[in-house]
Amino acid sequence: MARYPIPTVGALVRGPSGRVLLVRTTKWRGRWGVPGGKVDWGERLEDALLREFREEVGLALESVEWALFQEAVFPPDFHEPMHFLLFNYFAVSPGEEVVPNEEIVEWAWTPPRAALDYPLNVHTTPLVERYLEVKDG
């Protein structure tokens, strides 16, 4: 187990249909969230975000913009005790064809308000709420 906070990036992404992408992984005990992951040493946050989206769901991102920061100290729905620094973004994808890697169990493109009906991990709910406040309000 890491003994220091781990910087991570993630994004709530809107596709051409106006829907947003949610994914379900085993790491979050089957809860739904957004694609993302750890920032590599020497990697800029936005570069890490673009890389993680290519790796996890095969999507390119455009119009990346800052959304919010969260700290997750031993999140109850993560599969092991961790301390994350979550750098969250909003972005747009020019396509909606998901090519999942081995981490992604399931995915869904959903209307933004309907995203709150999914069993989201504890840190995705505030990101969706922020999106609804600034993008869909």
Q: Kindly write down the DSSP assignment for every residue of the chain, as one continuous string.
A: --SS-EEEEEEEEE-TTS-EEEEEETTTTT-EE-SEEEPPTT--HHHHHHHHHHHHH----EEEEEEEEEEEES-TTSSS--EEEEEEEEEE-S-------TTEEEEEEE-GGGGGGS-B-TTHHHHHHHHHHHT--
**127 has pLDDT over 90:** yes
The residue ranges of every structural domain in the chain are 6-134
**90 has pLDDT over 80:** yes
Tens digits of residue pLDDT in 24-80: 998 998 899 999 999 999 999 999 999 999 999 999 999 999 999 999 999 999 999
What pLDDT score does 136 carry? 72
Model pTM score: 0.93
**1 has pLDDT over 80:** no
According to CATH, the topology of domain 6-134 is Nucleoside Triphosphate Pyrophosphohydrolase (3.90.79)
**86 has pLDDT over 80:** yes
